[in-house]
A = this chain, B = another copy of it.
Amino acid sequence: MQAENHKTVLPTLIRTMDRLSDCVSVWKTAGDRISVVPTMGALHEGHLSLVRAARENCDRVIVTIFVNPAQFGPSEDLEKYPRTLESDLGLLAALEVDLVFAPDQSTVYPDDFGTWIDPPPLARRLEGELRPGHFRGVTTVVLKLLNASRADEAWFGQKDFQQVAVVRQMVRDLNLPCEIQVGPVIRDSDGLALSSRNRHLSPGERIQALALSQTLRTAAELIQDGERDAHVVMTMMNQSLIDGGVSQIDYAVAANPATLETLQRITFPVVLLVAAKVGATRLIDNCLVE
């Protein structure tokens, strides 16, 4: 009997919309406040920090794990994206998650599926410009997951700054009765923003990747020291990435956090955003300066 005490109890794993609906119906009838944390799995401390925050706020916590094909472009890393369900469930066991919803592709997108979200103009900048269709896929799956889980609140990481902005506007525009909550960027002790894609970095690339967070830190300091010419800041950001050995830069900009329009003059709040490839791995990072 004593061994039982050491057994890890994995969270309930649900694969179908019908079973999810049955569970949340019971919770809604009981008046429970439901939180959902949408993820693509390959969980790290960034995700877990969101789950802990959700746990504190709500009666019920649902974590969804779904690698959403609709948000990957044809030349992107859908196949290579890490899938680690078993260890994800182990990590969530310690956090008292009420259920994990991990549907397969045909559950989320059945053969006759045909309704999509056409996201706001905000979604055409930065990531949207480089990854056409990305936010159409993101907003559609997020809306589906929020609806299916009937969540009162949903948690996202600030690391995906533009995603948060686009999802927030979708929720506002479509009058969804769901609060969007945002957790901070979680970093390794050396500053690298946690990402499921970090596991693809070789030891040498892991060091190069530090250029992203270092660049953001330096640019934030430059602004705090009084620099107001956004062009100067952005030139520094690009140079800093190159100096750090990162030359495949998608963007390195200072932008208006509400519209994501690149600034001419620094006004506050300002968000600094970088996206670059380190080897074959595309990384993003950002820093809000208020």
Whether A21 is near chain B, meaning CB under 8 Å from some CB there, is yes
Contact between chains at A115 and B173 (CB < 8 Å): yes
Q: Which of A139-172 contact B (CB under 8 A)?
A: 139-140, 143-145, 147-148, 150, 169-170
CA distance A175 to B108 in the complex (A): 9
Render A119-143 as a binary contact track against B, CB cut-off 8 A, 1 for contact: 1111000000000000010011001
Bound CA–CA A21/B179 (angstroms): 13
Complex formed: what's the CA distance from A174 to B118 in Å? 13
**Interface residue? A95 (CB, 8 A):** no
Using CB atoms, name the residue of chain B closest to A166: B115
**What would be 10 A-B contacts, judged by CB atoms less than 8 Å apart?**
A114-B120, A115-B120, A115-B169, A115-B174, A143-B174, A144-B174, A144-B175, A145-B175, A147-B174, A150-B177
Q: Which residues of A from 1 to 60 have beta carbons under 8 Å from B?
A: 17, 21, 29, 31
Contact A173 B113 (CB under 8 A): yes
With a cutoff of 8 Å between Cβ atoms, the chain B residues found around residue A207 in the complex are none
Known: A21-B177, A150-B177. A115 touches B144 (CB 8 A): no
Q: A144: which B residues are within 8 A, CB to CB?
A: 173-175
Q: Which residues of chain B are near A117, meaning CB under 8 Å?
A: 115-118
Q: Is there contact, CB below 8 Å, between A118 and B120?
A: no
What residues of chain B lie closer than 8 Å to A114, measured between beta carbons? 119-122, 169, 173
A: which residues have CB within 8 A of B? 17, 21, 29, 31, 112-122, 136, 139-140, 143-145, 147-148, 150, 169-170, 173-177
CB-nearest residue of chain B to A25: B177
CB distance from A15 to the nearest CB of B (A): 15
A43 CB, nearest partner CB in chain B, Å: 23
Chain B residue at minimum C-beta to C-beta distance from A143: B174
CA distance A31 to B32 in the complex (A): 12
> A122 vs B122: C-alpha distance in the bound complex, in angstroms?
28
Chain B residues lying within 8 Å of A116, measured Cβ to Cβ, are 117-118
A204 to chain B, nearest CB (A): 42
Tell me the bound Cα distance from A118 to B169 in angstroms: 16
Contacts of A145 in B (CB 8 A): 175
A104 to B31, CA, bound (A): 32
What is the chain B residue whose CB lies nearest that of A108? B175
Q: Which residues of B contact A140 (CB under 8 A)?
A: 174
Residue of B nearest to A177 (CB): B150
Q: 7 extra interchain contacts, Cβ-Cβ under 8 A, other than A31-B31, A114-B121, A140-B174?
A: A113-B173, A114-B122, A114-B169, A115-B139, A116-B118, A118-B118, A148-B177
Instruction: Give the chain B neighbours of A147 by CB distance below 8 A.
Output: 174-177
The answer to whether B120 touches A175 (Cβ under 8 A) is no
User: Roughly how many angstroms separate A150 CA and B152 CA in the complex, as a whole number?
Assistant: 12
